Amino acid sequence: MNKIKKIDSKEVGLASAIIFGKYFFKTNDLHYGYWPDGLKVDISNITIAQENHSGLILSAIPPEVKSVLDVGCGAGSLASRLIAKGYSVDCVSPSSILTNEAKKLVDNKCEFFESTYEQVETDKKYDIVIFSESFQYIHLANAMQQTVKFLKPGGYMLICDFFKTDAVGESALGGGHDLKEFYSTVVKYPFQLQKDTDITKQTAPNLALIDDMLKQVGHPIWNMLFDFIHSRHPFLYGILLWKFKKKIAKINKKYFSGERNADNFARFKSYRLMLYKKTLQ
């Protein structure tokens, strides 16, 4: 019998986010939005906030850059913007669903490495390697080794992503490499820091929106689902509660306890835009 391939839950989450985002907000971005002072934190402004975020990345690219490796390109939104600005772009994308979306958007103008970054093999060299909210998914030392390999001398590594702070306590928000560990790792590689901007304040408002959506939409639907099963299939309901007790408690804590909010994001995460230059010849 054929073995059923286990699908990674993070990839399912990202693929669902793109289906949702495309339908409701007409966006192909999978990153947080950037909310400057004055932009009202409202779901109707999410597309503007996401465009701001991409704009911030584009504005941080040094002028001499021509070729880009977009690692974890999502549905291809940043890659297509880069192409429109005249850069030559290749993409790394381990998710077949997202790769298909990205290929449609970039119209055959990129080479795709359809694997994790850790597994990419190529002799090509780039002026810049960009990680737009994808760095957290990649093994830290491997990310460094691969980036050193794929950059031309004097090339750049741009990371726009969040990291874990050393705040005490248990966070309901997952994701991100440990920031201190990142700093102590990057110094072991031939990189010189050019820029390190803390954009936690401007990205945290996304969590306020997610928290609101979970409260107003997610929680009522989740409860209705349980009420429905209880009323129609009381026996099955009992088994479900018994069999998935821990999982259900975990979901309730993670998504519906109100702990996924902007304050906790700002406490447990540090969202940074970092630019490093490769120093070795």
Ligand X SMILES: C[S@@+](CC[C@H](N)C(=O)[O-])C[C@H]1O[C@@H](n2cnc3c(N)ncnc32)[C@H](O)[C@@H]1O
What are the residues binding ligand X (CB under 6 A)? 14, 29-31, 71-74, 77-78, 92-95, 98, 116-118, 132-134, 137-138
Neighbouring CB atoms inside 10 A of 118's CB total 15
Q: Closest separation between CB of residue 240 and ligand X, Å?
A: 31
With respect to ligand X, which residue has the nearer C-beta, 55 or 235? Answer: 55
First-residue to last-residue Cα distance in the chain = 53
Q: Closest separation between CB of residue 281 and ligand X, Å?
A: 28
Closest-CA residue to 74 (of 21, 13, 18, 10): 18
Q: Closest separation between CB of residue 102 and ligand X, Å?
A: 8
With respect to ligand X, which residue has the nearer C-beta, 121 or 170? Answer: 121
Give the contacts of 34 (CB within 8 A, at least 6 positions apart): 49, 50, 52, 53, 55, 56, 199, 202, 203
Taking a C-beta distance cutoff of 8 angstroms, is the pair 69, 58 a contact?
no
With respect to ligand X, which residue has the nearer C-beta, 119 or 223? Answer: 119
Strand, helix or coil at 88? Answer: strand
Neighbouring CB atoms inside 10 A of 71's CB total 28
Distance CA 83, CA 105 (A): 11
Pairing of strands 126-132, 111-113: unpaired
The CA distances from residue 160 to 33, 222, 279, in Å, are: 12, 33, 20
Strand, helix or coil at 190? Answer: coil
With respect to ligand X, which residue has the nearer C-beta, 30 or 89? Answer: 30
Distance CA 159, CA 277 (A): 12
Q: Closest separation between CB of residue 122 and ligand X, Å?
A: 14
With respect to ligand X, which residue has the nearer C-beta, 29 or 211? Answer: 29
Q: Closest separation between CB of residue 259 and ligand X, Å?
A: 21
With respect to ligand X, which residue has the nearer C-beta, 96 or 279? Answer: 96
With respect to ligand X, which residue has the nearer C-beta, 166 or 181? Answer: 181
Q: Closest separation between CB of residue 137 and ligand X, Å?
A: 3
Q: Closest separation between CB of residue 91 and ligand X, Å?
A: 9
